[in-house]
Amino acid sequence: MTWLFGKGRFIGLALLVLLAGCSSKPITPPPTNMGVLDEYQIGVGDTLRINVWRNEELSSDVPVRPDGKISLPLVGDVTAAGLTARELSTNLTEALTEYIRSPQVTVIVTNASSSDFQRRVRITGAVQSPQSVAYREGMTVLDLVLMAGGTNEFASANKAKLYRKVEGELNVYPIHLDDLIEKGKVETNYPLQPSDIVTVPERAF
The per-residue pLDDT for range 15-49, each reduced to its tens digit, is 444 444 444 456 677 876 644 556 788 999 999 99
Look at residue 117 in the predicted model and tell me its pLDDT.
78
Q: Report yes or no: 44 and 65 within 8 Å, Cβ to Cβ.
A: yes
Reported as a single tens digit per residue, the pLDDT across 130-167 is: 999 989 889 999 999 999 999 999 999 999 999 998 87
Q: What percent of the chain has pLDDT over 90?
A: 69
Reported as a single tens digit per residue, the pLDDT across 40-90 is: 889 999 999 999 999 999 999 999 999 999 999 999 999 999 999 999 999
Q: Report yes or no: 45 and 64 within 8 Å, Cβ to Cβ.
A: yes
Q: Does domain 119-200 have CATH number 2.60.40.10?
A: no
Burial annotation 73-112 (CB, 10 A radius, 16+ → b, else e)? eebeebebbebebeebbebbbebbeeeeeebebbbebeeb
CATH of 47-113, one of 2.40.440.10, 3.90.1150.10, 3.30.1950.10, 1.10.3720.10: 3.30.1950.10
Annotated domain spans of the chain: 47-113, 119-200
**pLDDT level of residue 191 (50, 70, 90 thresholds):** very high
